[in-house]
Amino acid sequence: MAALALVLTGSLTGCYKLRGHYGGPKTYEPATRRLDAADVALPAGYKAEAIAQGLTYPTGVAFDAQGTPYILEAGYSYGEVWTAPRLLRLEPNGETKEVYSGGKNGPWTGLVFHEGAFYVSEGGSLEGGRILRITPAGQMSVLVDKLPSLGDHHTNGPAIGSDGYVYFGQGTATNSGVVGPDNADFGWLTRNPKYHEIPCQDITLVGQNFESDNPLTEDKKDKVTTGAYLPFGTPSTAGQVIKGQLPCTGAIMRVPLRGGPLELVASGLRNPFGLAFHPNGTLYTTENAYDTRGSRPAYGAGDVLWAVKPGTWYGFPDFSAGQPMNTSDYETPKNDPKFLLAKHPQTPPKPAAILGVHSSSNGFDFSRSASFGHVGEAFIAQFGDMAPNVGRVYGPVGFKVVRVNVQTGAVEDFAVNKGRTNGPSSEIGRAGLERPVAARFDPKGEALYVVDFGMMPMTEQGPSPRKQTGVLWKISKI
């Protein structure tokens, strides 16, 4: 990140220093992880316990008809490492039993149970995204496939509506609409050099182009020019129309539970990761906002919680949290983020809440029971920043669970590591949370289950996820 993002969150105090990388070698080997629930700070009257550990890249939890927890392992992590994605059943003794194992088309990013079956979002880094239906007996069928999920962001969700549809998010291919050298760093540009953003409806381009290095050739001096919504090295022209299609990138879509045609719900979302229905029936989504990287970096864009209104355009690639990007607020020394689109479908709405810059606010759920408290409020797992790849920060951002009042937009820490500064346990010398990625209440609403992805230090060479360090936490009233 060329510019610096100052993020002081919650009630944490202490001295902050510019954090570039954790240092250390890049490795994907298992690591020793200390666990002590006493290192997790919670409001008075709550307790935490680790009920499963030794997981490899877990991303979701759901409960069958008997209330038994099932855990999702992604099978892929940034850092370009693949393992087998798996659905696991948590046994009473704390051990896990494999229910189903997929191929090498992770990451599996989300899990929900409905009327006798689990629904899984398959990210599809290699073959495209899918929505899978898996029974507790391990029988799998494909609900929808060939989703545009070959880029930076993947097929996410899912959530089941009372209308008989599976809702899911589809992330964008790029950071901010333009394919650049950073996408080679993510690994996919060399695999799919023609891949790019796909609009949900026809768009007209301003014709802004971006010159960058060309990582697809050995010539260090080779330069290319790339326009928005076009393959790497393809310039755009003013007034150029890009035809919309379905499925598209940067959207929420839905498909009938028993299969059928795909439908568009909402568009203009950079990476709609978590989806959940409020007790009043409103669909909400978390959106991972722009990074300070690539050919069109953006400074200071906070993650967002949106109330989803069908048919709405939420602003990608020209707005952040409802605010236009062509202002000094988002400038970096390397880029003035002008509009890419000549016309906008509408003015984006205001978000339900704005979350931390680079916090990676992901899976969440709403409290529905007075026995746990805070009924109607969202509990959001924050994976934590990936500095310096996404931009440098003053102190770690995220690495906790926050509570959001969707009526007021107020955001408060709920589960966070104890210490003078925030951060993953392995960095601050604690034994609590590393990278919370999902939060889900049990069927009775009495306990909040938090999926902790595990240790993933950022080295000079990029993300270094550590196998067998994932944990499932349970938070309940004392």
At 168 the pLDDT is 98
**What's the pLDDT at 392?**
77
Average pLDDT score over residue span 67-92: 96
In the CATH scheme, what architecture does the domain 4-202+241-465 have? 6 Propeller (2.120)
- Please give the average per-residue pLDDT across 19-37, as a whole number: 83
HSE at residue 426, side-chain half, CA atoms within 13 A, is 18
The domains of the chain are located at: 4-202+241-465
Q: In Å, how far are 185, 221, 460 from 215, measured between CA atoms? A: 9, 10, 18
Q: What is the mean pLDDT of residues 6-29?
A: 53
Give how far the C-alpha of residue 200 lies from the chain's centroid of Cα atoms, to the nearest Å: 20
What pLDDT, on a 0 to 100 scale, did the predictor assign at position 62? 98
pLDDT of residue 303: 98
Give, as one character, the DSSP assignment of residue 193. T
Rounded CA gap, 381 and 398, in Å? 8
Chain-centroid distance of CA 424 in Å reads 17
CB burial of 435-471 (b: ≥16 within 10 Å; e: otherwise) equals: bbbbbbbbeebebbbbbbbbbbbbeeebbbbbbbbbb
pLDDT for position 421: 86
Give tens-digit pLDDT for 125-165.
999 999 999 999 999 999 999 999 999 999 999 999 999 99
What average pLDDT does the structure give for the chain?
93
Instruction: Tell me the pLDDT band of 25, cut-offs 50, 70 and 90.
Output: confident
Token pair, residue 182, equals: 């950073």
Average pLDDT of 101-106?
94
Question: Model pTM?
Answer: 0.94
**pLDDT of res. 212:** 97
Residue 2 pLDDT: 33
SS3 of 39, please? helix
pLDDT tens sequence across 379-400: 999 999 998 888 878 889 999 9
The alpha carbon of 441 is separated from its chain's Cα centroid by a whole number of angstroms, namely 19
The three-class DSSP label of residue 427 is helix
